């Protein structure tokens, strides 16, 4: 594996498990020093940081609930304080609620938007104070921003559509600073939140070209490319890694 991110500093929100942990591993393997946030997954965060250290990399676990705007800003500042700068921001933290619009609680709506949308805005804004030309802002969206083939997914889909639109606009704002802004949109990925044998798996697999879920490493590979030097002309894009889900 190349060391295309040697000397770079990355922050991955929600990086203790699932897709986030796969991204942390890949960026560290490519040479970046990686900070990542976690909320409830304390043991997983400690184990991941230790794993990367044992492999010769550098990782810093930061406790931060993405629903708390001040905690998101503090995580950016802690990364810069620990590593001397910030080159790559990966907005990965996200939650989902399955509820029919007619029955959904306003509390669930507010928290989902706080984590999935507001935290992305807050992290972008905080990162802008530290990033230099060549910086990368990457948000993990979802193909459900464009297709939601099951009932109860309206709130989640709305948040992912929101970050896609916000990122396209932010690409215009950050372009003069030499910073790219993109969205990586996974399809069905085998994680503990959406396992390949879970309740939605049969319907999801029917929409996939191969009939099989993707892996966290598949998403991490695209994130690593977008974070790297060969992606300098890609900005304002929503890039799918979805096994043909949207084909």
Cβ–Cβ < 8 Å for 219, 186: yes
Q: Among the options 38, 109, 156, 245, which is catalytic? A: 156
Cβ–Cβ < 8 Å for 144, 245: no
What distance in Å separates the CA atoms of residue 157 and residue 155, rounded to the nearest whole number? 5
Contacts of 107 (CB under 8 A, 6+ apart): none
In the sheet that holds 58-63, the strands lie side by side as: 58-63, 33-38, 9-12, 88-91, 136-140, 180-186, 238-241
Smallest Cα–Cα separation from 186: which of 104, 121, 111, 96?
96
| CB burial readout 146-173, b (16+ within 10 A) else e | bebeeeebbbbbbbbbbbbebbbebbee
Q: What is the DSSP letter of 214?
A: B
Strands (E), 56-135: 58-63, 88-91
DSSP string computed for 145-157: GT---STT-HHHH
Structure-block tokens of residue 22: 């796969």
Does residue 109 have an active-site annotation? no
Structure-block tokens of residue 185: 């949109």
Give the bridge partners for 59, in sequence order.
34
Residues recognised as catalytic: 156
């Amino acid at each position: 594996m190349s060391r295309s991110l040697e000397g770079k500093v990355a922050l991955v929100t929600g990086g203790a498990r699932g897709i986030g942990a796969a991204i942390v591993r890949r960026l560290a393997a490519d040479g970046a020093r990686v900070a990542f946030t976690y909320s409830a997954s304390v043991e997983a965060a400690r184990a991941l940081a230790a794993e990367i250290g044992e492999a010769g990399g550098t990782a810093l676990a930061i406790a931060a609930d993405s629903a708390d705007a001040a905690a998101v800003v503090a995580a950016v500042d802690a990364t810069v304080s620990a590593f001397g700068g910030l080159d790559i921001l990966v907005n990965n933290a996200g939650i989902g609620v399955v509820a029919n619009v007619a029955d959904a609680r306003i509390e669930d709506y507010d928290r989902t938007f706080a984590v999935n949308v507001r935290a992305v805005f807050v992290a972008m804004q905080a990162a802008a104070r530290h990033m230099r030309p060549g910086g990368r802002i990457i948000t993990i969206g979802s193909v459900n921003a464009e297709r939601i083939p099951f009932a109860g997914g309206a709130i989640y889909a709305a948040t992912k559509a929101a970050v896609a639109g916000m990122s396209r606009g932010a690409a215009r704002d950050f372009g003069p600073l030499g910073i790219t802004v993109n969205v990586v949109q996974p399809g069905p990925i085998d994680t503990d939140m959406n396992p390949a044998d879970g309740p939605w798996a049969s319907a999801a697999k029917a929409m996939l070209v191969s009939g099989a879920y993707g892996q966290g490493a598949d998403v991490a590979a695209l994130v690593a490319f977008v974070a790297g030097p060969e992606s300098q002309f890609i900005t304002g894009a929503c890039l799918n890694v979805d096994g043909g889900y949207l084909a």
